[in-house]
């Protein structure tokens, strides 16, 4: 990844982490529900864990069991980590990996406020997971693998940390066919999880090459235009107030329009208004299993791993 691209990803996601976006914003909750979360799930975890960045709900298909160790790649504010923590229980562990400092700080604050004792968060890129070999039962991720410039390296790392028989349950963006050139070359489209996506067949072949079996890539049918629901809720700070007169707005507040850089959600809304991304891209459910040595009979997918 070029330094410019890396800096752009960190900057945009760092700004989201530092914003006031949360499940308390109607648009943020609407995005999560559009991609498969229930209202009950979203209200069972800290509101600040959801910032409207999902493209699916991997915990719904991961078939997590009490006592398991689950790792979330690109864990953001901890949404899926906290849902997973409840599923694996006090004898299990839910671990989040994220490269953005502000996201890690937000997730740890959420863990503390929520009283979670079986979660950990580590700052790292996902092509260098800071965990031992064969130490994880399940790897989940939510709309993050598309951002990785070296996806084969990420697939190899997932295989490395998984125990034999361990499974992958990922929600991601993948391509049905080539993107329009204007989208494929757009920095905003890359940071917004579209331009970095690969074709479904390439995704499947990449996992197979990394040693996985029973790989499935399933189009969820979700509408990617759901991201526009967060429009005008980018989390900008409130106008500064004169404490001696609570009805008086002080000039020069931090949200002065001329000084505000478009947010990640602003960029996505603009992109969605200019292009029909559903024509080429899709929210997908990804399933795969790391086989036991000499055993290829295991199953992982929407109707197994139970």
Q: Residue-wise pLDDT tens for the chain (306 aa)?
A: 467 777 888 899 999 999 999 999 999 999 999 999 999 999 999 999 999 999 999 999 999 999 999 999 999 999 999 999 999 999 999 999 999 999 999 999 999 999 999 999 999 999 999 999 999 999 999 999 999 989 999 999 999 999 999 999 999 999 999 998 988 988 888 888 999 999 999 999 999 999 999 999 999 999 999 988 886 544 333 333 333 443 333 333 333 334 457 788 888 888 888 888 999 999 999 999 999 876 544 444 444 443
Residue 254 lies in a domain: no
Residue 219 lies in a domain: yes
Residue 252 lies in a domain: no
The pLDDT of residue 298 is 42
Residue 299 lies in a domain: no
Residue 250 lies in a domain: no
The number of distinct structural domains making up the chain is 1
Residue 1 lies in a domain: yes
Residue 233 lies in a domain: yes
The pLDDT of residue 23 is 97
* Interval 192-223: pLDDT, tens: 899 999 999 999 999 999 999 999 999 999 99
Full DSSP string of the chain = --HHHHHHHHHHHHHHHHS--STTSHHHHHHHHHTT--HHHHHTS-GGG--S--SS-GGGTS---TT-EEEEET-TTSHHHHHHHHHH-TTSEEEEEES-HHHHHHHHHHHHHHT-SSEEEEE--TTS--S-TT-EEEEEEES-GGG-S-HHHHHHHHHHHEEEEEEEEEEEEEESSPPPHHHHT-HHHHHTTSTT--BHHHHHHHHHHTT-EEEEEEE----GGGGGGGTT-S-PPPPPEETTEEEEEPTT-TT-GGGPPPPHHHHHHHHHHH--GGGTEEEEEEEEEPPPTT------STT---
The pLDDT of residue 8 is 84
Residue 87 lies in a domain: yes
The CATH number given to whatever domain includes residue 225 is 3.40.50.150
**Domain containing 154: what range?**
1-239+259-290
């Amino acid at each position: 990844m070029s330094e410019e691209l890396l800096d752009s990803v960190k900057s945009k996601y760092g700004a989201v982490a530092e914003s006031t976006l949360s499940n308390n914003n109607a648009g943020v909750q609407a995005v999560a529900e559009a991609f498969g979360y229930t209202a009950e799930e979203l209200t069972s975890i800290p509101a600040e864990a959801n910032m409207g960045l999902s493209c699916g709900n991997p915990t719904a298909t991961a078939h997590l069991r009490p006592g398991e160790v689950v790792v979330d790649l690109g864990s953001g504010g901890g949404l899926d980590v906290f849902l997973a923590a409840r599923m694996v229980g006090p004898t299990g562990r839910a671990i989040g990996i994220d490269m953005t400092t502000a996201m890690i700080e937000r997730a740890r604050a959420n863990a503390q406020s929520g009283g979670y004792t079986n979660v950990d968060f580590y700052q790292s890129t996902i092509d260098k997971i800071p965990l031992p070999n064969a130490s994880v039962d399940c790897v989940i991720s939510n709309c993050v693998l598309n951002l990785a410039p070296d996806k084969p390296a990420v697939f190899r790392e997932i295989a490395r940390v998984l125990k034999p028989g361990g499974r992958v349950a990922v929600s991601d963006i993948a391509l049905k066919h080539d993107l329009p050139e204007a989208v494929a070359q757009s920095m905003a489209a890359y940071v917004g999880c579209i331009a970095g996506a690969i074709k479904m067949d390439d995704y499947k072949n990449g996992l197979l090459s990394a040693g996985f079996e029973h790989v499935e890539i399933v189009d969820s049918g979700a509408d990617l235009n759901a991201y526009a629901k967060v429009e005008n809720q980018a989390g900008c700070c409130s106008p500064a107030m004169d404490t001696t007169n609570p009805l008086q707005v002080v000039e020069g507040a931090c949200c002065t329009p001329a000084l505000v850089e478009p947010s990640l959600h602003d960029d996505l809304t603009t992109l969605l208004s200019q292009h029909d991304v559903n024509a080429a891209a899709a929210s997908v459910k990804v399933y795969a299993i790391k086989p036991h040595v000499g055993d290829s009979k295991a199953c992982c997918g929407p109707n197994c791993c139970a």
